[in-house]
Amino acid sequence: MTKTSFDLVVVGGGPGGYVAAIRGAQLGLSVALVERAELGGICLNWGCIPTKALLHSATVLRACREAAHYGVTGAAEARPDLAAMVARSRKVAGRLGQGVAHLMKKNGVTVFAASARLAGSGKLALDNGATLSAKHIILATGARARELPALPIGERIWAYRQALVPTEIPKSLLVVGAGAIGAEFASFYRAVGAEVTLIDMTPEILPQEDAEISQLARKAFEKQGIRVLTRCAVTASSTTADGVKVTLEHDGKKIEETFDRVIVAAGIVGNVENLGLEKTRVKVEKTHIDTDGLCRTGEPGVYAIGDVAGAPWLAHKASHEAVLCVEAIAGLPVHAIDPLRIPACTYSYPQVASIGMTEARAREHVTKTGGEIRVGKFTFAGNGKAIAMGEDQGLVKTVFDAKSGELLGAHIIHPEASELITGYGVAASLEATEEDLMHTVFAHPTLSETLHESVLAAFGRALHA
């Protein structure tokens, strides 16, 4: 007979849920994981991982087309095999899904393929008729794409799922939403040959990033042939035999255009429906569950982590919350997550990565106490490794509290930005000052030397600028 009573039950098997289950098992708890679809969740199956597989295919294609620059001939005529790219992307996701299943078995986690809802104190009712009991219940149900009334999802209007498995390259593509997801899809489809228009309602693309970095990203996108329209929204659409006829409102003017396909990347909403929250003290605000610093909800014994618990909507934030939450349940000393120490990455071309405050926010922050900031910038054009790679366009920007030397924010735009940002993440976690960073020895020749130079630049000591 299948066991139905546990110390911990986790609802949702994404990067928050499955990590919570593993950590619980490591700490000696009896653990069950309930997942209605695929282990690994949206991130592994329909988000982070498959998009990165497609984007890497685009990187290889771009490298082939530019191979002559590096003294390699015969590759300039490389063409995208879309079916093979998609097949590889799905294979990568499938492999990692199997890996999660193996980890559940290895750690002794009981997995239920079902949906679950709260059914009284310490109880969960599954849609297969079973009832589970647990001292602690973690909700890790994730989020889904926000739908726009003017753009109903269908054959020609896609959300991320449809955009990940195209059967042909659109001749023309409208991407609605220029955050991380929209920017990544715009980069991929432009690389494989689509004429791409990227729009956003805000004054700049990647609106959560530092304004200077966002402007550099826009210039880079436009240089690749991506048409960028900001302060732009879709007010109406209709599907025709030739594509999708869209009415745009741009800077107060209406524009009517027809696109072969449209991708909607206008944010996400939390999966809070059908969880049985109505008769509990769990509070939901703007489709996300309200939690405290230890991931506790208003209902005793019920916790929430990851995207369903609100911003930042990042897989690594979910995984970190998972460990924090479970360790708190087990009685270990833990600290609440500081959102300013969570890196954010956009895997477009070029990539954008950041941690902490933007320059504008940092300036506002220190002004309240009569302080000042110091800003350092270093371009990759001054870095030997970047020049050798042929990737010498980009910027590292650091923001410090002038008095204390605290690193308030760091921002990078470069094809390897996502790999570089962790250096600043470690520094922030260790509360390193500008002096600590300036005294750190960075290997040469590496791209990471730009991190050092940007810090030096903030205090008038850059060596290669």
Long-range contact pairs involving 424-428 (C-beta distance under 8 Å, separation at least 24): 424/343, 424/355, 424/356, 424/398, 424/451, 425/341, 425/343, 425/355, 428/340, 428/341, 428/355, 428/356
To the question of whether residue 138 is assigned a binding role by annotation, the answer is: no
In three-state secondary structure terms, 372 is coil
**Structure tokens of 246?**
């869209």
Query: Residue for token digits 């791409």?
Result: 196
Q: Is 184 annotated as a binding residue?
A: yes
- Residue listed under structure tokens 């809070």: 272
Q: How many CA atoms lie within 13 A of 80 on its CB side?
A: 26
Residue 177 annotated as binding? yes
150 known ligand binder: no
φ and ψ of 328, to 5 deg: -65, -40
User: Active-site positions?
Assistant: 444
Indicate left, alpha or beta for 78 from its phi (over 0: left) and psi (-120 to 50: alpha): beta
356 Rama sector, left if φ>0, alpha if ψ -120 to 50, beta otherwise: left
CA 74 from centroid of its chain's CA atoms: 36
Cβ distance 112 to 33 under 8 Å? yes
236 marked ligand binding residue: no
- Is 315 annotated in some ligand binding site? no
The contacts of residue 152 (CB under 8 Å, 6+ apart) are none
For the chain, how far is it from start to end, CA to CA, in angstroms? 69
Is 134 flagged in the annotation as binding? no
Residues 6+ apart with CB under 8 A from 19: 318, 319, 322, 323
What value, to the nearest 5°, has the Cα angle with vertex 310 and ends 304 and 314?
100
Residue 23: is it exposed, middle or buried by C-beta count within 10 angstroms (0-12/13-18/19+)? buried
Q: Was 106 annotated as part of a binding site?
A: no
Residue 156 CB burial class (10 angstroms; 0-12, 13-18, ≥19)? middle
Does the annotation place 371 within a ligand binding site? no
Q: What is the DSSP secondary structure assignment for residue 433, as one 8-state letter?
A: B
Known binding positions: 52, 177-184, 267, 307
Known binding positions for FAD: 52, 307
Known binding positions for NAD(+): 177-184, 267
